[in-house]
Amino acid sequence: MRILLTGANGYVGRRLLPELLSQGHEVVCCVRDKNRLGLDKATLEKVTLWEVDFLHPIDLDNIPKQIDVAYYLIHSMTSSISLGLTLLPPTLIISFILPVKYINPS
């Protein structure tokens, strides 16, 4: 299967990725900053990276195609020293759903 893994550099994503690869899946890692992913070279050669921030408009031309399954592991909270703990906007999930629907319009 071709799997889209959002939050690939988060707590759950980092643990799920090796499992998906060991089962022979093709994984597209969705991250805000590919430089923060921190994967070893061997793992990087096995995955495709899609750098995107769902808090901003998404360029539909850059969406990975033929995705069979998508894991939505984007954390629902963010922290800021000046603001404390704040909820991300509900439009974040819409920003994720629209491209997925575009990938598989069935």
**10: Cβ contacts below 8 Å, ≥ 6 apart:** 73, 74, 75
Q: How confident is the model at residue 101 (pLDDT cuts 50, 70, 90)?
A: low
Largest CA distance in the chain: 44
pTM of this structure = 0.73
Domain total of the chain? 1
pLDDT digits (tens, 9 = 90+) for 8-43: 888 889 999 999 999 999 999 988 888 888 889 999
Q: Rounded to an integer, what is the distance from CA 69 to the centroid of its chain?
A: 12
Vertex 6, ends 2 and 11: CA angle to 5°? Answer: 120
Supply the pLDDT for residue 1: 92
Above 90 in pLDDT, residue 72?
Answer: no
Q: How far is CA 38 from CA 10, 15, 35, 101, in A?
A: 11, 13, 7, 29
Supply the pLDDT for residue 90: 47
Residue 46 belongs to domain with CATH number: 3.40.50.720
Look up tokens 């430089």; give the residue.
Answer: 35
pLDDT digits (tens, 9 = 90+) for 35-66: 888 889 999 999 999 988 877 777 777 888 88
Q: In terms of residue numbers, what domain contains 48? A: 2-103
